[in-house]
Every structure is written in C-alpha cells, then in structure tokens.
Amino acid sequence: MNDAPQPAGREALAPSTTESLVAKDTKSQHATATDGEPRLLLNRELGQLEFNRRVLAQAQDHAMPLLERLRFLCIAGSNIDEFFEIRVAGLKAQIQLGANRPGPDGKAPLEVLQEVSRQVHELITQQYAVFNDDIVPALAQEGIVFLRRREWTKAQRDWIHAYFLNDVMPVLSPIGLDPAHPFPRLLNKSLNFAVELAGKDAFGRKSGVAIVQAPRVLPRLIMLPPEISGCPHGFVFLSSIMHAHVDALFAGMEVKGCYQFRVTRNSDLFVDEEEIKNLRTALQGELPQRNFGDAVRLEVADLCPPHMSDFLLQQFDLAQDDLYQVTGPVNLVRLMQVPDQVPRPDLKFKAFVAGVPTQLTKRPDMFAAIRKSDILLHHPFQSFKPVISFIEQAANDPNVVAIRQTVYRTGTDSELMAHLITAARNGKAVTVVVELLARFDEEANINWASKLEEVGAHVVYGVVGHKTHAKMAMVVRREDGRLTRYVHLGTGNYHSRTATLYTDFGLFTCNPEITADVNDTFLQLTGLGQAGDHTHLWQSPFTLHPKLLAAIAREADEARAGRPASITAKMNALLEPEIIQALYDASRAGVKIRLIVRGVCALRPGIPGLSENIEVRSIIGRFLEHTRIFHFRSIDAVYLSSADWMDRNFFRRIEVCFPVLDPKLKRRVINEGLKIYLDDNSQAWAMDADGNYRRLQPGTGKRRSAQMELLAELSTRPVADR
C-alpha cells in the first residue's frame, strides 16, 4: 500500500494553499480539571459519537455514489443502535448501581449520559435531515422512489391492499390491552405499532390502546412492479401499509391513531464465568434473553402525540431524555437492502477484482510458495481466497497431520469452516479454538462448534475470563521425514465477507521461530501451564502491554540522545491510559508520533508541553479500516497485531502481535499501511486537542485517497475513482 522511509511530518496536517482543513460543525468537548489544566484523556462514549459523525459525513458527501451514501446512512444508524445496546446500556447500569465516581476523563456516568443524550438527539436530527431533504429527492431523480401513502394512485392502492390481505394480515396478532392482556414483551429493535381505539369489541370489552407487532418474517420495505409504481424502482414501507390498513384488524371499532415505535434494549450478555461449569450450555441458555434486556431507548414517529409517547415511556420505564422522535421510518437501517435490490452500478462504488500475489499465481501449491518466501496479503485489495486455499489444501493433503485455528468471527456460511470439517473427516488432528463470547456472533460460533465436534475435531473455548481474539492458523506437515509448521497470522477475522469490506493484513510464514511461538500460544489455549517467553510474538495478556511500553520508551531514549526517533501506528481505538501516558512522555522527549486511529481516541494531540509532537488522524472511506500496525523507527521494527490499544485487548483478551521480518514485506507494510494513509487528503480527518475532527481537503493540490490508490495498485481490475 505505501512506501516511504519516513512518513510525512507535522506539516502534512497543517493548512496550506494546497491542503486546507475544513472545520466540521461539531461542539467542542472541553474536558478540564478543576485547576484549569486540561484533562489528559477524552471520554470514550463521546469519542464514539464523534466517529459516527464522520460516518454520517460520508452520507452527506455528494462526491460519493448516491446508493453508497444511502448505505453509509444505514451504517450510521446501525452504529447508533449498537451504541445504545452496549455503551448507553452500560452507563445506565453504572448509574443504577450508584457508581458516581468520575472516569479517567473526569466525567461521572450521569454526566456522560446527559451529554450523550444531547449529542445523539442532534445526531439523529441530522441523520433524518440528510435522508428526507437530500438523499430521498436525489434517489427520486434516479427513478428510485419511496412511495408516500398520501400520493398512492388507485393502481398502487389496489396492489398494496392485495399485498396486505395476502402477505401481511395473516401473520399479524393485534393485542388489545386490558387486565387479561398486559403490555407485551417486545423484541429488541422490532417494529411495532401503538393503536388508539374507541368503542367496544365483540365481547363488549373497551380498550383504548392495542399493540401490533410486525413479525420479523415481513420485509420492512416492499418493491412494487414497475408498471404499478410508475418508476423503475418503487418502494413502499411496511409501516405505510400498516397505517393504511390497520382498521381491518379492529372490526367495528374506531381507529383514532396508529403510531410506529421501536425499543432498543441492553444486548450485552452476562455469563458468570467463575460459576459456570459448561460455557456453551450457559451461553445457549442466555442468548434467547438478549432480545429482552432492559430498555434503553424509545423511538417513535414524529406524528406520535405526547400522551401516547408518555404511555410508551412508562411501559418501558424510560425517561423523557430516552425518547427519540423521528421524521421518517423509525429504523433507517432497514434501507440497507435498497442498494442490493437496485441494479444501478453507476450509483455504487465501481466493482473490482481483488489481486493475488505473484508468488501464488506462479505456485498454486500454498506450502511450496510459503517455503519459497513469506507472503503478505492486504485485504480487500488482495484476495482472501489464498487463506481459504491454505486450509483447503491442508484438509486434503495426505502429508498434513494437524491443523489448529482460532475462530472469533467467521459467519454462518463459512467455506473455511467447511474445509476444517473435511480435514477432520479425513483424519487430520483438527483443533479449533472457538470464541463463544464474540459479541453478536455467539450463536453462529456455537453452531460451528457443534458441527466440528460431530466430526471428531477437538473444540476448545479458550480461557475463562479472556476472549480469544488472536487470528492464527497453523498447519503441521510431514516433509522429508520431519514435521514442518506453516502459519497464517492476521489482523482481521477468518470471515470471507468482511475480508471484502475491511482493510486487514495477513502473513503466511514457515519461519521456525515464529511458528514455534504460535505453537506455544496454541498450547496455552488448549492445555494448562505457565506462559513461556516467545522469540518474536508479543502476546496479551502477558507481554504485549509491557513490550509496547518498552518500545515507546526506547524511542523516547533515542530522541533524548539526539538520534532519530519516531512512532507511527494504525489501529481502531486508543484508550489505555498507561500507553497514552507513555506516548505523552515520548512526545515531550521529542519523538514524532503519527497515529491513524479509525474510531475512538482518548489521547489529546497537539497540547503544548504535552503532546505537540503527536498527530492523530482518522480515515473513513469505502472500506472499514481495521489494520493494526506499529512501526518504531529506532530499530526499524514493524509489527502487525490483532489488538487495539485498549484495556480489554491488553488485559482481558488473548491477542498476538507479530513482526514482519522480510525487508521487502516490511517496506510494503510501511508504504501500504502507513505512509499512503498519512498522505491522504480526501478521506482523512485530523483530530484536535478537544476531540473534534476536521476533514482534510486537497485544495489546489492533488487529490489523494489511500483506499482508491491501493485499489488501483493491488487489484487486478483497477478502479479510476470511487
């Protein structure tokens, strides 16, 4: 992806005639101590909202293809959903337990929750403004229309009426509220309707309110035939169909109002790992309850009157600040299907074919190719298929005796897992470390664990209290009378779909020292014993944190001695206080530190006397930036890792950080993973000391987009522009 002995310096972020900083319209997050000195850390939840503003900005960007703008709008909505399910739920839980102690940023949970509520209300208002005032009219001009109920033609009304009778009404079960029918338990994020009624039913019962749940089997967006819709792609919302026909569910009664709503619930699972005897059994019992956790947010349509929204808030034990009244469908995430249903490639990112390294095109035998030299893959610009081929060839190779692999996220339909099953059936010694507590992938991982066990594979669930987040696969092969190990190490999951959407590095090697380290790590995961010293790998929760602190301190010592020193690192999040303090100390020593942090960053860059030598930028583009790269100049060391610089990655997860030893591949990582991103002036956002971000603009200079340049360089079908 890039090449440069030293990434661009601080001037790369300075406003100039060729590159100007355009301020983003966000409120400043001044977090100051009582003595007037700035706090050293920024708040995690507010930083996460800042990240979502950068995602929403992609939907606001008219240079983006139109359907991709809609997709980014949906991603922003999905991010907010998860933010409430996990982060807001956590804040509420702290407050309920009486935890009022300020966090590292100086803010108490209640103070954070109040600020979160204010900012999210603003963010959702912006989100719906983009949808209603910008994207919807632009889509209509392209023949992609969301048909409004008040504008339906007779032909459309007739078609929709028939659809309601045949496909919707048979699966609805309205519930009139009375002493025998209390307010129902509603699934997390499900679409529901509160219906106001007048009159009595067939049994003489009088109920002022009924609840209609929209079953999840029903699509939330229905495409009409072009001859009916009058446009190439006409859609109608299920909510519109319900509003138009809800009276059919309450014969003889008067429907005074129908209001769509959605409740978001705490979705974090709790499993007492110290008490349980079988993690998988305990988790299987807990999963069904995820959809019925404590409510944390209520969304209602803008036409919902106050007395009805108050009634709903009361049912869910929520406060007024937890109410989000929106001008449109209560779940914009459901619009994610539109880009997939509309065959308009001119309104989407241009297609590309992921490249394959020349070593593998010349030598389809993976083991022969790896023996020749280490192989580096850069996804999604380069294909994930070699990783699948690695396991597939191992599964069918009579010389392979064992396969070991970690699984964090792999998907419900995984070709790679199918090859592991084949390997077990072929008599290989297959050991798979399955992380059952990978959030929102628990069910898929349980299912794969069961299938693997059925064919005789050895399945273990890692270490209680520590999620197994390391990405490792090892093949043991008999060659010339001895056993040789081959490994794949990565920064991303063994998931074929996300490998086309996330940027990640993967390394194949048969270096005996690295493979020995990997073997020792697998032994830790599957057996019992003390952690030994690795030759090359840094591992959480044992050595990664102290090794990083030592590496940062080494750069600081070099700078104090007047020798060249710098740190360039790329990750998804930076939160761990000791690492941040070490970076501050290194900055004061004169170390130039360039950080590319996609999401939350608690470090405050650019503060005189503290962090003036630190720059932080975030890249938001077509692909989700997911690589973790650490470059220390004084020893010219480049490491790739599965770990971000967060407390959980250092102390509560099993992670590996591995060096890139081959000089050519090391240069590739620096060039493709760091330098090109530091040169980006169109998808990059620069962070200031208050946690605000400004998007870089090329001005009169050349437009640089790291992801687009990597597509052109590494894919087999270059893409000229997005």
Backbone angles phi, psi at 306, to 5 degrees: -55, -40
- pLDDT for 8 beyond 50: no
| The pLDDT of residue 411 | 77
pLDDT score, position 492? 94
Instruction: Kindly provide the b/e burial profile for residues 490-508, where b requires at least 16 CB atoms within 10 angstroms of the residue's own CB.
Output: bbbbbbbebbeebbbbbbb
* pLDDT interval class at 386 (50, 70, 90): very high
Long-range contacts of 166-172 (CB under 8 A, 24+ apart): 167/218, 168/218, 168/238, 168/241, 168/242, 168/245, 169/245, 169/248, 169/249, 171/215, 171/217, 171/218, 172/212, 172/213, 172/214, 172/215, 172/249
**Helical (H) or strand (E) element with 297:** strand 295-301
Average pLDDT over residues 254-263: 95
Q: For residues 124 and 80, is the Cβ–Cβ distance under 8 A?
A: yes
Cα–Cα distance measured from residue 385 to residue 353, given in angstroms and rounded to the nearest whole number: 12
Local structure of 422: helix, strand or coil: helix
Q: What's the rounded mean pLDDT across residues 234-257?
A: 94
Helical (H) or strand (E) element with 489: strand 482-490
| Cα Rg of the chain (Å, integer) | 27
CATH topology of domain 358-536: Endonuclease; Chain A (3.30.870)
Mean pLDDT, the chain, whole residue set: 88
Burial environment of residue 708 by CB neighbours within 10 A (0 to 12, 13 to 18, 19 or more): buried
DSSP for 582-646 reads HHHHHHHTT-EEEEEESS-B-B-TT-TTTTTTEEEEEE-SSSEE---EEEEGGGTEEEEES--BS
Q: Which residues pair with 299 in a beta bridge?
A: 262, 324
DSSP 513-553: HHHHHHHHHHHHHHS-------SS-EEETTTHHHHHHHHHH
> Stretch 190-215: mean pLDDT, rounded?
86
- Average of per-residue pLDDT across 468-494: 96
Nearest to 473 by CA among 421, 536, 422, 420: 420
Distance in angstroms (rounded) separating the CA atoms of residues 136 and 151: 15
Give the residue with greater pLDDT, 27 vs 452.
Answer: 452
**Which candidate, 259, 220, 226, 240, places its Cα nearest to that of 157?**
240
CB 494, CB 407: distance < 8 Å: yes
pLDDT of residue 446: 77
Of the pLDDT bands very low, low, confident and very high (cuts 50, 70, 90), residue 402 is very high
Q: Across residues 611-631, what is the average pLDDT? A: 97
Q: Which amino acid is at 385?
A: K
* pLDDT score of 181: 76
Residues involved in catalysis: 469
pTM above threshold 0.85: yes
Give mean pLDDT, residues 304-322: 96
Q: Residues 251, 241: contact at Cβ < 8 Å?
A: no
Q: What are the DSSP E strand ranges found in 390-481?
A: 400-407, 429-434, 458-460, 467-468, 472-479
Residue 330: which of 512, 184, 485, 127 has the closest Cα? 127
What is the structure's pLDDT at 14?
31
Report residue 267's pLDDT band, with 50, 70 and 90 as the boundaries.
Answer: confident
Tell me what percent of the residues of the chain surpass a pLDDT of 90: 75
Q: Considering the domain delimited by 84-347, tell me its CATH architecture.
A: 2-Layer Sandwich (3.30)
13-42+539-714 fold: Endonuclease; Chain A (3.30.870)
Stretch (H or E) spanning 686: strand 684-687
Is 326 a residue whose pLDDT tops 70? yes
Sheet containing 221-224, strands listed edge to edge, beginning at the edge strand earlier in sequence: 144-146, 233-237, 221-224
pLDDT reported for residue 269: 54
Q: Which two tokens stand for residue 233?
A: 């792609």
Q: How far apart are the first and last CA of the chain?
A: 17
Report the alpha-carbon distance of residue 371 to residue 369 in Å, rounded. Answer: 5
- The set of residues, in sequence order, having a beta carbon less than 8 Å from that of 572 and lying 6+ positions away, is 597, 598, 599, 625, 626, 628, 644
Q: How far apart are CA 640 and CA 670, in angstroms?
A: 11
Side chain identity, residue 310: D
At residue 29 the predicted structure's pLDDT band, cuts being 50, 70 and 90, is very low
What tokens does 64 get?
Answer: 């983006």
Q: Is the fold of 13-42+539-714 the same as that of 358-536?
A: yes
Does the pLDDT of residue 309 top 90, yes or no?
A: yes
Residue 660 tokens, joined: 């890139």
Report the pLDDT value the prediction gives residue 202, as an integer from 0 to 100.
67
Q: How many helices (H) and strands (E) does the chain have?
A: 23, 28
Burial class (CB in 10 A: 0-12, 13-18, 19+), 451: middle
| Predicted local confidence at residue 32, as pLDDT | 35
CA distance 47 to 50: 5
Q: What's the Cα-to-Cα distance from 33 to each of 52, 110, 610, rounded to whole Å? A: 27, 18, 15
Contact 349, 722 (CB under 8 A): yes
pLDDT at 515 over 70: yes
Per the model's pLDDT, the better-predicted residue between 582 and 30 turns out to be 582
What pLDDT is stored for residue 440 in this prediction? Answer: 58
Cα dist from 215 to 163, 171, 172, 189, 248, whole Å = 15, 7, 7, 12, 17
Long-range contacts of 531-538 (CB under 8 A, 24+ apart): 536/658, 536/659, 536/661, 537/656, 537/657, 537/658, 538/639, 538/641, 538/656, 538/657, 538/658
Which of 63-67, 174-178, 579-583 is predicted least confidently?
A: 174-178
pLDDT for the residue numbered 674: 98
Residue 293 has pLDDT above 60, yes or no: yes
Report yes or no: 335 and 70 within 8 Å, Cβ to Cβ: yes
Residue 28 is encoded by which pair of tokens? 């400043």
164/10: higher pLDDT = 164
Give the Å distances, CA to CA, from 393 to 35, 270, 367, 419, 448.
Answer: 64, 39, 9, 9, 20
18 has a pLDDT exceeding 50: no
Pick from 524, 510, 468: which is nearest to 655 by CA? Answer: 468
Instruction: Name the 3-class secondary structure at 59.
Output: helix
Q: Residues 444-473: what's their mean pLDDT?
A: 86
Identify the three-state secondary structure at position 218.
Answer: coil
d(CA 191, CA 212): 9
CA 695 distance to own-chain centroid:
21
Domain ranges (residues) in the chain? 13-42+539-714, 84-347, 358-536
Least confident of 182-191, 205-214, 526-535: 526-535
- CA atoms of 457 and 403, how far apart (whole Å): 10
Q: How far apart are the C-alpha atoms of 170 and 162, rounded to whole Å?
A: 12
Average the pLDDT over 4-19 and give the result: 31
